[in-house]
């Protein structure tokens, strides 16, 4: 085979270029710390690394979502905690207002602070997050959720019954969700209806009221339910009607729907012999096994003072009542006049109603805060899981992509030697010529 000088030069250049390219590739691997610089370096590992990187990016996004969820829930919890603290102050003022020795001016002074607290609570309910979205507006974050005033509520309050929309709620019942794992979305908000409006009045089972025409000094407490199953099985609207005869006060339990006595099963009023003797401060048990038909509401209440003939107190299943309505009507009671003993008894009843309703509102705030706490605990658990997943993905990527420095440096040294040998051998071969022998 005839080897020309051109072929010798081409072969030499090709060899040196190949060694130079290998040397540059190794240098890039060492400088980047990556074994795979292009998919052609290891097609299978490159494809697998892409899948793992995408999964790692998803976990990173979930981690960011968890941070945002924690921030949103923390902001909501702060607002509700502030609202609960505010209710504590309102309750202190309510207990203070229950002092029978207070003058009308002193009661009105308390009402002034309660008006301020009402506005403060309304501000908390209309709070926004850092992005300008209202926390308690549901999906309608750009809308101010609550609107109304103390005076608007009291204008629409009639005979211990609040209007359904005494404070206009302009949000909705939606709950904003955030995806925090491949299979879990978590609520990062709560509807203002659930937090501030849908609060059971009274003791949570039933609420009490007094007849506006009462002339005695009877004051009813919140009552209690000793057997919830019995109450739920035969819940009713009941009136307690009083009769005073020869210095003895008796009472009858009347079904408001039918007008019949629950003690006798006949049309009210029941004969005096069938009525029960009233003793101030003693429990009135809402039960009569000897009646036809018999009934047992599993509950009782106490009435203190001296009811007059014809006085009545109502018992009805608890209804939803906003915390705004509770504070607003308390203001109305404090600003009203109490000129007679009967007026004072009605005022005392209103104070009792307010205390019971404030306790229900505080319990509802605590319930929502408990739910928020449970979500935040779940977020912490998911955060730990995401940290573990992220670490696992990084380890897998390292196994696929990261460079074995010991091997790479050894290969780099070998390629340097190969290149130097190619260069030196080319120089020697290039010197070979017949002209040297002429």
pLDDT one-digit tens code per residue, 375-413: 999 999 888 888 888 788 777 766 666 666 666 667 667
C-alpha to C-alpha distance for 400 and 48, rounded to whole angstroms: 8
Q: Are strands 168-169 and 295-304 parallel, antiparallel or unpaired?
A: unpaired
What's the pTM? 0.80
Task: Provide mean pLDDT across the span 18-28.
Answer: 66
Given the DSSP bridges, would you call strands 248-255 and 283-288 parallel, antiparallel or unpaired?
A: unpaired
Q: pLDDT for 331-352, tens place per residue?
A: 989 988 777 899 999 999 999 9
Segment 148-173 shows an average pLDDT of: 65
The residue assigned the tokens 């009347």 is 254
Do the beta carbons of residue 161 and residue 153 sit within 8 Å?
no
Annotated domain spans of the chain: 5-33+404-437, 64-201+323-379, 203-318
Q: Has residue 242 got a pLDDT over 90?
A: yes
pLDDT of 9: 66
Among 156-160, 193-197, 382-386, which range has the highest average pLDDT?
A: 193-197
Q: Is the pLDDT of residue 161 over 50?
A: no
pLDDT of residue 203: 93
Q: How confident is the model at residue 289 (pLDDT cuts 50, 70, 90)?
A: low
pLDDT score for 437? 61
pLDDT value of position 159: 44
Q: Which of 176, 173, 177 is nearest to 196 (CA)?
A: 173
Q: Which CATH architecture has domain 64-201+323-379?
A: Up-down Bundle (1.20)
Confidence of residue 24 (pLDDT cuts 50, 70, 90): low
Is the pLDDT assigned to residue 158 strictly greater than 50?
no
Which residue, 235, 240, 234, is CA-closest to 285? 240
Q: Are 257 and 237 in contact (CB under 8 A)?
A: yes
pLDDT bracket for residue 50 (50, 70, 90): confident
21 versus 366: the higher-pLDDT residue is 366
CB count in 10 Å sphere of residue 228: 12
Least confident of 51-65, 294-308, 315-329, 343-357: 51-65
Higher-confidence residue: 160 or 190?
190
Q: Please state the rounded mean pLDDT for residues 187-207.
A: 93
Q: According to the per-residue pLDDT averaged within each range, which of 54-63, 114-123, 233-242, 253-262 is highest? A: 114-123
pLDDT at 83 over 60: yes
270 vs 186 pLDDT, higher one:
186
SS3 per residue for the chain: CCCCHHHHHHHHHHHHHHHHHHHHHHHHHHHHCECCCCHHHCHHHHHHHHHHHHHHHHHHHHHHHHHHHHHHHHHHHHHHHHHHHHHHHHHHHHHHHCCCCCCHHHHHHHHHHHHHHHHHHHHHHCCECCCCCECCCCCCCCCCCEECCHHHHHHCCECCECCCCCCEECCCCCCCEEEEECCEEEECCCCHHHHHHCCECCCCCEEEEECCCCCCCCEECCCEECCHHHHHHCCCCEEEEEEEECCEEEEEEEECCCCEECCCCCECCCCHHHCEECCCCCEEEEEECCCCCCEEEEEEEEEECCCCCCCEEEEEECCECCHHHHHHHHHHHHHCCCCCHHHHHHHHHHHHHHHHHHHHHHHHHHHHHHHHHHHHHHHHHHHHHHHHHHHHHHHHHHHHHECCHHHHHHHHHHHHHHHHHHHHHHHHHHHCCHHHHC
User: Which of these ranges, 110-119, 240-249, 286-295, 384-393, has the smallest mean pLDDT?
Assistant: 286-295
C-alpha triplet 158, 162, 164: angle, nearest 5°: 130
pLDDT higher for 52 or 124? 124
Instruction: Report the pLDDT averaged over residues 211-235.
Output: 90
Confidence of residue 160 (pLDDT cuts 50, 70, 90): very low
* Of 47, 321, 342, 2, residue with least CA distance to 166: 321
State the pLDDT at residue 426.
65
């Amino acid at each position: 085979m005839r080897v020309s000088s051109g072929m010798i030069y081409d072969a030499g250049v090709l060899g040196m270029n190949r060694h130079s390219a290998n040397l540059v590739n190794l240098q890039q691997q060492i400088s980047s710390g990556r074994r795979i610089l292009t998919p052609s370096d290891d097609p299978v590992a490159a494809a697998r690394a892409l899948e793992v990187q995408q999964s790692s990016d998803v976990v990173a996004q979930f981690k960011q979502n968890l941070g945002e969820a924690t921030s949103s829930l923390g902001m909501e919890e702060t607002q509700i905690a502030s609202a609960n603290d505010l209710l504590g102050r309102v309750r202190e003022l309510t207990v203070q207002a229950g002092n029978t020795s207070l003058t009308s001016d002193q009661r009105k002074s308390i009402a002034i602070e309660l008006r301020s607290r009402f506005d403060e609570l309304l501000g908390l309910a209309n709070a926004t997050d850092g992005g300008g979205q209202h926390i308690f507006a549901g999906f309608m974050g750009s809308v101010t959720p609550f609107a109304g005033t103390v005076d608007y509520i009291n204008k629409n309050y009639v005979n211990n019954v609040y209007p359904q929309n005494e404070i206009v709620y302009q949000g909705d019942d939606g709950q904003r969700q955030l995806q925090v794992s491949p299979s879990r979305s978590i609520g990062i908000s709560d509807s203002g209806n659930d937090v501030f409006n849908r609060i059971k009045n009274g003791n949570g089972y039933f609420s009490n009221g007094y007849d506006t025409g009462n002339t005695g000094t009877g004051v009813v407490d919140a009552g209690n339910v000793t057997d919830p199953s019995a109450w739920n099985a035969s819940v009713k609207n009941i009136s307690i009607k009083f009769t005073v005869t020869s210095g003895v006060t008796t009472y009858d339990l009347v079904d408001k729907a039918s007008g019949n006595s629950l003690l006798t099963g006949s049309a009210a009023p029941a004969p005096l012999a069938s009525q029960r003797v009233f003793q101030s401060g003693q429990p009135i048990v809402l039960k009569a096994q000897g009646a036809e038909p018999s009934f047992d509401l599993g509950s009782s209440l106490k009435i203190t003072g001296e009811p007059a003939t014809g006085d009545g107190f109502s018992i009805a299943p608890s209804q939803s009542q906003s915390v705004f309505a509770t504070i607003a009507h308390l203001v109305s009671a404090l600003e009203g006049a109490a000129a007679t003993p009967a007026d004072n008894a009605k005022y005392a009843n209103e104070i009792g109603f307010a205390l019971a309703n404030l306790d229900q509102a505080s319990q509802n705030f605590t319930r929502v805060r408990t739910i928020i706490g449970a979500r935040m605990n779940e977020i912490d658990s998911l955060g730990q899981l995401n940290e573990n997943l992220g670490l696992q993905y990084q380890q897998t990527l390292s196994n696929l992509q990261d460079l074995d420095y010991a091997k790479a440096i050894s290969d780099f040294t070998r390629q340097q030697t190969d290149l130097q040998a190619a260069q030196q051998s080319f120089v020697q071969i290039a010197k070979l010529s017949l002209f040297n022998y002429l």
